[in-house]
Amino acid sequence: MSRPETRFVAGHARLPQGMAAQHLFESLSVTVEIDAKYAVILDASCTLVTEHGRTFIRDLLRGHSLRDGAAPVAERVQRCYIGRAGLALVAALKDLHLQYERSLSEAPESRPGSVSPSGM
């Protein structure tokens, strides 16, 4: 169920050759639900094959604010995730942040923390 106080953002990257997930998906996707006011990640998901991997990444991302940029969370993933999908995860996170930034420039009324004139 969509909530007006949250936003859904997705990022994608190509998977390296020879990964188990590559047989299921050509790309790796990372999706997050963020608080609309502060852009804090409330929940996250990714297309890693194992539930354990998906849960691990979700736990790494939760609490991070997209306002802080892609670098802090990308560095955290690089430090904590050791596996062939590491570079794809970082690339997907950077793409996700790019999509977030684009959304700010395309729809000022939906920017996190903004108040629409009708809401005053």
> What pLDDT score was predicted for residue 4?
75
Fold of domain 6-100: Sufe protein. Chain: A (3.90.1010)
**Is residue 92 within 8 Å of residue 45, measured between CB atoms?**
no
pLDDT in tens, 46-81: 999 899 999 999 999 999 999 999 999 999 999 999
> What pLDDT score was predicted for residue 108?
57
What CA–CA distance (Å, rounded) separates 18 from 15?
9
29 CB-side CA count, 13 A: 10
The domain limits of the chain are 6-100
Joined tokens for residue 26: 């050509």
What CA–CA distance (Å, rounded) separates 113 from 117?
13
